[in-house]
Amino acid sequence: MAETPAPPADPLAHYPGWARELARRYFTKTINQFVVHGNVRDLVPSQDGRGERAYLPLRQFLADDLFAGRDVVVFYDRSDGIHFQDAESRRDFSRALSGYDTIFGTEYAKKLPKDPARVFALLDNYFRLRLADGKRIACVVDYAETIIPMSEAASYSTEDRGALVTLQKWANDPLLLRADFTLVLVAENLGDLSRPFIQSPYNAELEVGLPALDQRQAFVSWFLSADGARARYDTLSDVPDLALAQNTAGLGYVQLRSILADVLENGRRLTFETLSEKKKELIEAEAYGLLEFVETDYTLDMVAGHAEAKDHLRAAAEAIKTGRPDVMPMGYLVSGPVGTGKTFLVTTFAGEIGIPMVKLKNFRSQWQGVTEGNLEKILTLLRAMNPVAVMIDEADAALGDRSSQGDSGVSSRVFGQIAQAMSDTRYRGRIIWFLVTARPDLMPVDLKRQGRAEEHIGLFYPSTREDREELLQVMMRKTGVDLPLDDVPEALLDGERTYSGADMEALLTRAKFRAATHALDAPRPAPGGDGAAGGGAVAEGGAVTADVLQAVVDDFVPPSYPLQVELQNLAAVLECTSLSMLPERFRALDREATTRRVAELKGLIGDR
């Protein structure tokens, strides 16, 4: 029996996934416009003429590889204007331009325009002439966000409207669809482009992702294959190839090249510590400074009280370390009144897990479309960096909701982006969200539901003597106060007033201040006197004593917001998803009565 012939080799197999998808969609002859977005300023893996691995800038990859069979490849951006891949196409365009000038009375042959309105008019005329002659054409519009920017329809300029209409006409034109014509728009963030254009069914969006582990490893091996590179790298680096690839998640080929070139060209030794610092620096820069790595030497052992919450987070850390992301919640909601150490608890978790933790900084902007673009960039980096933990402090204010008014819909779009990212189960246990807030009741239900912030942890002020002693000892270590517990005022440990960790830290810092200023006021020995005795008196006077601390406690009047604190307490109680994490005094609360009291408190303080 004759053997079944092997299927022919795929000529596109060496292309990245987005390029193969572009080719597949193009051959359907139903779409001729593509938006390439994401990691578009990086190198693109390809092959050279001899079939060997190569890495090219996107523009070169499109011209020399993906569109190598086209008769005309034209590039346009606002800065450089119109450019052609080869001199013959440029001369042909000049001849067509002379005819255009004759017909329309223009003088573009002397000086080409750069604004979209006139450029698109010239290109439209040229494309139709050459397509009628059977030419095959590809057009690449770079920095497309400057051509069709994201804006509300009422804010479009005449130029923006003209460019948008031209592109939409090209997407539906029977001649362009029937002919061998492709238009590629390039932009880093999809959210920076006109929404009517993006939502059109007549174009396709293709995301260029950051390289995965195997792709980074292949690049490192390729880069070090140059003459002498391998031997020099092995001499100057403590980081093996595989470890370098494993520890650079979230970086692109250009950034990897920068790290390798620093070793090979500048002779700088690469250690795991320097690699970690470079990675953080490069990613923070890539995120426009909107991501900040959370670095800490603290662990959960440094957290006073909150025993149940610590036990849960230790178990979560162990699950991550042992490769069980499938048992992890998608995210956490950490709530409780001010001063209970919510942010500190999440920060110490970063010291337990052994994976990076980043904090979202203020990614909002006053400019139309920038907020969504910033967030899109951040989410792309997070997906590439996984596994990673993400902390959003003051989450009730940062994330918006579906019904936000008065900001042209920015808050609702931000909410939608975050909600979609948090519910992507492909990243369960790989992107761990921590939403931190003192007012969980202000957060939209869609973010708090199961499938997003699944585990709700409530933190509360210490209520037992043991908890207060533990918290005070932690705060004394933090502030450098050395005082036996027997010398601590009883009001701090067993009084009616409740002190938060922030209150205790403020008290101890004030006690240090009082001791130091009293030491400065102490009389100094006369010149020639017993300097040793005088110095001893000053040192002793600078220490916090039982009397100093007692005086400070007697004098201390903490800021008093009893209604707000009660509201924050009860909101955290209602949100907590584990009865065992609630203090005893809250476990028996009637939920209906508590809900009514929360509504009453909101009315009393004029809150919503």
The pLDDT-based confidence of 153 (bands split at 50, 70, 90) is low
Task: Compare 258 and 537 and report the one with higher pLDDT.
Answer: 258
In a domain, 6, yes or no: no
Closest CA to 498 of 467, 544, 457: 467
Q: Kindly report the number of other CB atoms within 10 A of residue 485's CB atom.
A: 11
pLDDT digits (tens, 9 = 90+) for 229-285: 999 999 999 999 899 999 999 999 999 999 999 999 999 999 999 998 899 888 888
Can you give the CATH number for the domain in which 349 is found?
Answer: 3.40.50.300
Helix (H) and strand (E) counts in the chain: 26, 14
Does residue 458 carry a pLDDT above 80?
Answer: yes
- State phi, psi for 412 to the nearest 5 degrees: -70, -35
pLDDT at 411: 67
Partners of 84 in the β-ladder: 74
In a domain, 574, yes or no: no
Task: Compare 275 and 155 and report the one with higher pLDDT.
Answer: 275
For residue 110, what are the contacts with CB-CB under 8 A and spacing of at least 6?
none
Q: Are residues 234 and 204 in the same domain?
A: no
pLDDT at 519: 64
- In whole angstroms, give the CA distance from residue 472 to residue 355: 30
Q: Are residues 433 and 320 in the same domain?
A: yes
Task: Compare 502 and 405 and report the one with higher pLDDT.
Answer: 502
Token digits of residue 153: 């329809």
Average pLDDT, the chain: 86
User: How many domains does the chain divide into?
Assistant: 4
pLDDT at 537: 36
In 69-144, the DSSP E strands lie at: 72-77, 81-84, 137-141
Q: Are residues 333 and 432 in the same domain?
A: yes
First-residue to last-residue Cα distance in the chain: 80
Fill in the amino acid letter for 116.
P
Does residue 426 carry a pLDDT above 80?
Answer: yes
Q: Are residues 182 and 223 in the same domain?
A: no
- State phi, psi for 334 to the nearest 5 degrees: -110, 115
Span 537-554, mean pLDDT?
A: 75
For residue 566, what are the contacts with CB-CB under 8 A and spacing of at least 6?
601
Can you give the CATH number for the domain in which 56 is found?
Answer: 3.40.50
Q: Are residues 381 and 351 in the same domain?
A: yes
In a domain, 454, yes or no: yes
Total residue length of the chain? 608
In terms of average pLDDT, the best of 137-141, 158-162, 303-307, 526-530 is 137-141
pLDDT at 477: 87
Closest CA to 489 of 442, 535, 551: 551
Q: Are residues 383 and 525 in the same domain?
A: no
Does residue 64 carry a pLDDT above 80?
Answer: yes
Span 208-227, mean pLDDT?
A: 93
Q: Are residues 447 and 539 in the same domain?
A: no
In this structure, are residues 302 and 474 in contact, taking their beta carbons and an 8 Å threshold? Answer: yes
In a domain, 37, yes or no: yes
In a domain, 571, yes or no: no
Q: What percentage of residues in the chain have a pLDDT greater than 70?
A: 89
pLDDT at 91: 94
pLDDT digits (tens, 9 = 90+) for 362-415: 666 555 556 777 788 888 888 888 888 999 988 887 776 665 555 556 667 777
In a domain, 579, yes or no: no
In a domain, 366, yes or no: yes
In terms of average pLDDT, the best of 12-26, 388-402, 520-534 is 12-26
Q: Look up tokens 């080719």; give the residue.
A: 23
The pLDDT-based confidence of 535 (bands split at 50, 70, 90) is very low
Q: DSSP characters for 534-575?
A: HHHHHHHHTS--HHHHHHHHHH------HHHHHHHHHHHHHH
Span 137-145, mean pLDDT?
A: 96
Span 436-452, mean pLDDT?
A: 88
Last residue of some domain: 238, 255, 286? 286
- In whole angstroms, give the CA distance from residue 428 to residue 77: 40
Span 499-505, mean pLDDT?
A: 84
Task: Compare 559 and 253 and report the one with higher pLDDT.
Answer: 253
Closest CA to 344 of 439, 478, 506: 478
pLDDT at 408: 56
Q: Is the dihedral of CA 147, 152, 153, 159 positive or negative?
A: negative
Q: Are residues 102 and 176 in the same domain?
A: yes
Does residue 89 carry a pLDDT above 90?
Answer: yes
Last residue of some domain: 555, 570, 598? 555
Token digits of residue 407: 């900001």
The pLDDT-based confidence of 355 (bands split at 50, 70, 90) is confident
Q: What percentage of residues in the chain have a pLDDT greater than 90?
A: 40
Last residue of some domain: 245, 263, 286? 286
Q: Are residues 278 and 325 in the same domain?
A: no
pLDDT at 409: 60
Span 63-74, mean pLDDT?
A: 93
Does residue 502 carry a pLDDT above 90?
Answer: no
Q: Which structural domain, as residue segments, surrounds residue 324?
A: 293-458
Does residue 586 carry a pLDDT above 70?
Answer: yes
pLDDT at 322: 87
In a domain, 56, yes or no: yes
Q: Are residues 277 and 336 in the same domain?
A: no
Can you give the CATH number for the domain in which 487 is found?
Answer: 1.10.8
Closest CA to 148 of 182, 198, 111: 198
Q: At what angle do helices 465-479 and 501-521 cross, to 10 degrees?
A: 50
Q: DSSP characters for 371-438?
A: HHHHHHHHHHHHHHH-SEEEEETTHHHHS--TT--SSTTHHHHHHHHHHHHHT-GGGTTTEEEEEEES
In this structure, are residues 293 and 250 in contact, taking their beta carbons and an 8 Å threshold? Answer: no
Q: Is the dihedral of CA 233, 239, 243, 245 positive or negative?
A: negative
Q: Are residues 40 and 102 in the same domain?
A: yes
The pLDDT-based confidence of 217 (bands split at 50, 70, 90) is very high
pLDDT digits (tens, 9 = 90+) for 276-310: 889 988 888 888 777 888 888 888 888 888 888 99
pLDDT at 3: 57
Q: Are residues 78 and 178 in the same domain?
A: yes
Does residue 569 carry a pLDDT above 70?
Answer: yes
Does residue 55 carry a pLDDT above 90?
Answer: yes
* Per-residue exposure over 470-484, b if at least 16 CB sit within 10 Å of its own CB, e if not: bbbebbbebbebebe
Partners of 83 in the β-ladder: 75
Geometric angle at alpha carbon 476, from 470 and 479, rounded to 5°: 140
Does residue 422 carry a pLDDT above 80?
Answer: yes
pLDDT at 532: 41
- In whole angstroms, give the CA distance from residue 591 to residue 602: 16
